[in-house]
Amino acid sequence: MDIEAPLVRQLTQHEIVANIYLFMVAGYETTSAALAYITYVLATHPNEQRKLQEHIDAHFDHNVDQDMLSYELISKMEYLDMFIRETLRMYPITESVINRQSSEEFHIENVGTIPVGTIILADIYTLHFNSDLWGPVDPHTFYPERFATKRHPLAWIPFGAGPRTCVGMRFALMEIKELLVRLLKVYSIVDCGESTQNKNGDVEHFDIQNNHIILNPTDPKNCLYDAISAQTNMSSNELRQRAANHMRHNADYYLKMMPAYEILV
């Protein structure tokens, strides 16, 4: 005899749409946007990128399989953690993540009376760029080492704070770290110098436009492709020549190693 559990109720159409939106924004789009800005920072801060690559390389034994990443190994990469946190400090992806609606009227000194039903948001930008919280180095300067100093627990809140902190924070940080380790072990990210803009300011959920980058192999023997560009209007020969000009070794050396393939996007 089959016994089925009673169906309490079905989700409404509004609840279904809300959950799909949450899955896409919280579970996918935010991580994608964070990686886009981390890539932008890497391309526009080459010295910091090289420092991060050296930091990652120092945690690997060259006699061991480079693909053998583990939670324990990545957790030891302190500068990688600081680099990501500094990027999210300057470019908080969910700037309106902390918001509440007042359930009763209350008064704040020097502010005034807050009526019932008022939506209240935490000003993440004021917190993340507050010189008292993030000095002595200018908060508008990208400086990962500032996270080596203990800060106020609510000075950095890209994932929210309190009992409703993003439940996926640890997972999101770990997947970002693993991707960056695998990427920077193989490639250097280079700014093409075309319309690179200062991205300080409000961060919305969109692609960074008109800021092209090139991925250059740090070791061409380990690369499926020797160079990949976001620009698709270049021929393969133009692409190989342009990428080679940015590589750390002699351009002729790389050009001899590059097969005459077409890159399909």
- The greatest distance separating any two alpha carbons of the chain, rounded to the nearest whole angstrom, comes to 76
Report CA-CA distances (Å) from 203 to 91, 198, 241, 250.
6, 12, 34, 38
CB of 184 closer than 8 Å to CB of 190? no
Helix boundaries (H) for 101-212: 124-128, 131-134, 169-186
> Does 166 show up as a binding residue in the annotation?
yes
Measure the CA–CA gap between 78 and 145, rounded to whole angstroms.
10
Residues 6 or more apart from 114 whose CB is under 8 A from it? 102, 105, 106, 107, 108, 120
Measure the CA–CA gap between 200 and 5, rounded to whole angstroms.
53
Measure the CA–CA gap between 13 and 124, rounded to whole angstroms.
32
Displacement of CA 199 from its chain's centroid (Å): 14
Residues 6 or more apart from 183 whose CB is under 8 A from it? 189, 215
Q: What angle do CA 92, 74, 213 make, to 5 degrees?
A: 55
Measure the CA–CA gap between 265 and 258, rounded to whole angstroms.
18
Binding site for heme, residues?
166
Binding site, residues?
166
